[in-house]
Amino acid sequence: MCMEKHGHDEEEQPKPVVLITGCSTGGIGHALARSFAANRCRVVATSRSRWSMADLEHDHRFFLQELDVQSDESVRKVVDAVVNKFGRIDVLVNNAGVQCVGPLAEVPLSAIQNTFDTNVFGSLRMIQAVVPHMAVRKEGEIVNVGSVGALASGPWSGTYNASKAALHAFTDTLRLELGHFGIDVVNVVPGAITSNIANNALANYNRMPEWKLFKPFEAAIRDRASLSQGSKSTPSEEFAKNTVAAVLKKNPPAWFSYGHYSTFMAIMYHLPLFLRDFFLKKLMKC
């Protein structure tokens, strides 16, 4: 929405304000922040710790805020700070997310809850805080970062895939409900993109209990944490550049999927279940 909806003339149009969650260096959110800034947006880059985005600290294009999407208070504080400073939020990007690897029959419910608290309720918490400000102006755009994992849920990442499937469903409903208030809603669906997701997933995985029934699958389960970080993964800068171009269109697409595995997963989605199961079992050594 920024460039085209707001025009190119800096004197006529204020710079669009884009609020992004999960902007730690090395991740997709950080690359999105830089790409929005390169497209003349004012970027509110947020992460749980300011330290994790220290390289953006002295760049005037960024307004840095600490934000934990699991906390009502943190979300309210940041949204208030942004509205006080800029008077509006034009684009909200719900990027913050966590992977959770393990067999569903044994993953502790607390780990499943933490995943949903971040990926699903964290995004909705942001949306509920930001929408009133957009609705008043009858203008705005919400971008939810889903995952191709939701298109064909395979072994060992059922928690993450289910959380992203929930987010996709929320996104579809929001697009219809918020259209009345001039708010566009975009589902951004990354394929395999270089980031810290595997390192963070492995750190979480190392805190899991020892598997019982699934002990023989230990190596395959652990490997699932790094699946998106192979040699052919799409660089986060390339992903961000293309995503930002789509998001800033006058009429942004309802669905934007990009990156390694995105075509493969779209095909998997349409396969008959017996074929999809066959490929996923082979791929995940299940």
Ligand X SMILES: NC(=O)c1ccc[n+]([C@@H]2O[C@H](COP(=O)([O-])OP(=O)(O)OC[C@H]3O[C@@H](n4cnc5c(N)ncnc54)[C@H](OP(=O)(O)O)[C@@H]3O)[C@@H](O)[C@H]2O)c1
**Residue from 47, 171, 243, 257 in contact with ligand X (CB under 6 A):** 47
Question: Dihedral through CA 33, CA 36, CA 40, CA 42, nearest 10?
Answer: -50
Stretch 121-180 residues interacting with ligand X (CB under 6 A): 122, 145, 147
Catalytic residue among 15, 85, 160, 232, which? Answer: 160
Q: Is 225 in the site for ligand X (CB under 6 A)?
A: no
Secondary structure of residue 234 in the 3-state scheme: strand
Residue placing its CB nearer to ligand X in the complex, 2 or 198: 198
Residue placing its CB nearer to ligand X in the complex, 6 or 188: 188
**Residue from 20, 69, 112, 268 in contact with ligand X (CB under 6 A):** 69
**Helices within the chain (DSSP H only):** 2-6, 28-38, 72-86, 109-116, 123-137, 158-178, 197-205, 218-224, 236-247, 262-270, 273-283
Q: Which range binds ligand X by CB under 6 A, 27-35, 126-134, 262-270, 277-285?
A: 27-35
Q: Which 8-state DSSP code applies to residue 255?
A: E
Is residue 160 flagged as an active site residue?
yes
Residue placing its CB nearer to ligand X in the complex, 2 or 93: 93
Number of neighbours of residue 112 by Cβ within 10 angstroms: 18
* CB half-sphere exposure, 240, CA atoms < 13 A: 23
**Residue from 183, 193, 221, 247 in contact with ligand X (CB under 6 A):** 193
| Distances in whole angstroms, Cα of residue 24 to Cα of each of 70, 197, 214 | 16, 11, 33
**Residue from 97, 102, 158, 252 in contact with ligand X (CB under 6 A):** 97
Is residue 205 flagged as an active site residue?
no
| Distances in whole angstroms, Cα of residue 64 to Cα of each of 56, 104, 117, 241 | 8, 37, 23, 21
**Residue from 13, 52, 153, 242 in contact with ligand X (CB under 6 A):** 52
Active-site positions read 160, 164
Residues that bind ligand X (CB under 6 A): 21-24, 26-29, 47-49, 52, 67-70, 95-98, 118, 122, 145, 147, 190, 192-193, 195-197, 200, 228
